Amino acid sequence: MAPKRAAVDTEPGTSGKAPAKPTPKRKKPSPPKAPKCGCRGDCRSSKCGCGKKGEACGDSCKCTGCRNPFKILKEFNIDCVEAAQDKCLMDNIFKIEDLRGRLEQSHELQCCETSVQLKDMFPGVVTCPDDDCGCEWQYSWCSNDFVDEENRPRNHCGICRHCGDYRDAHCERCNKCYFAGLSGFECPCKDRPPKPKGGMGSLGLMLWAMQHFAGDDSDRLSDESEDEGFF
């Protein structure tokens, strides 16, 4: 009798449905600190999932002979997260053959002829190490040189993937950088005839020519050009 009573006591009482069901299906809390890329090669490409995020490869990566540049930056104690936000760096660093050599390369800052090594001078804008100076410099990975951030700030175009003159701007119309000057004038492409695109191009060009050289013959010109102009 004893066991039966015990069963009756426990079943409908305290813990009816509770313990087993609502346990979470996901046991992985998605660890934030385990970089992993799907590379089979040496990770020396901006497609590497680790490099893209500015991370050195970890144990779970399957790469072989890894040359992820951020592995080297990490060795040099450089702030990889900040470095990865620099487009100029990201557009260049995967192409540099001898990154260690580049980092140890000496440069002379023009403000007071101080000699610096690149590894101490990025990411971001850095001040001349000379106490009395205070000049601000930024390294351009495109030109392998330091630019005077106060007077001629570095100007890397993320679309053209290149550092241009500090007065350059990117034109959305012709999708190129142009010299915009300090006042920011328009791209000279606005004065150029529209680019020929297939069949419509010749017509567009013709219309443009008509606007600019409109004269007595413009009517006749347009009539002819539609059917016979090019045949």
43 binds Zn ion (CB under 5 A): yes
173 binds Zn ion (CB under 5 A): yes
Pick from 79, 125, 167, 174: which binds Zn ion (CB under 5 A)?
A: 174
- Closest CB to Zn ion among 71 and 221? 71
Pick from 39, 84, 103, 118: which binds Zn ion (CB under 5 A)?
A: 39
Measured from the CB of residue 20, what is the shortest distance to Zn ion in angstroms?
39
Measured from the CB of residue 203, what is the shortest distance to Zn ion in angstroms?
21
User: In angstroms, what CA-CA distances link 99 with 122, 125, 136, 213, 219?
Assistant: 14, 20, 24, 56, 64
Q: State both tokens at 58.
A: 């970890």
Measured from the CB of residue 194, what is the shortest distance to Zn ion in angstroms?
12
For residue 37, the 8-state DSSP code is -
User: In angstroms, what CA-CA distances link 139 with 24, 97, 116?
Assistant: 50, 18, 11
**CA atoms of 32 and 13, how far apart (whole Å):** 43
- 39: Cβ contacts below 8 Å, ≥ 6 apart: 45, 47, 48, 49, 50, 61, 62, 63, 66
Pick from 44, 57, 94, 116: which binds Zn ion (CB under 5 A)?
A: 57
How many helices and strands, by DSSP H and E, does the chain display?
8, 9
For the segment 94-133, give every residue that binds Zn ion (CB under 5 A). Answer: 111-112, 128, 130, 133
68 binds Zn ion (CB under 5 A): yes
Q: Mask 145-164, x = binds Zn ion (CB under 5 A)?
A: -----------xx-xx--x-
User: In angstroms, what CA-CA distances link 2 with 6, 7, 39, 161, 228?
Assistant: 6, 9, 65, 83, 109
- 50: Cβ contacts below 8 Å, ≥ 6 apart: 35, 36, 37, 39, 43, 56, 57, 58, 61, 68, 70
Measured from the CB of residue 27, what is the shortest distance to Zn ion in angstroms?
24
- Closest CB to Zn ion among 186 and 224? 186
Measured from the CB of residue 56, what is the shortest distance to Zn ion in angstroms?
8
**Binding site residues, Zn ion, CB under 5 A:** 37, 39, 43, 48, 50, 57, 61, 63, 66, 68, 88, 111-112, 128, 130, 133, 135, 142, 156-157, 159-160, 163, 170-171, 173-174, 177, 187, 189
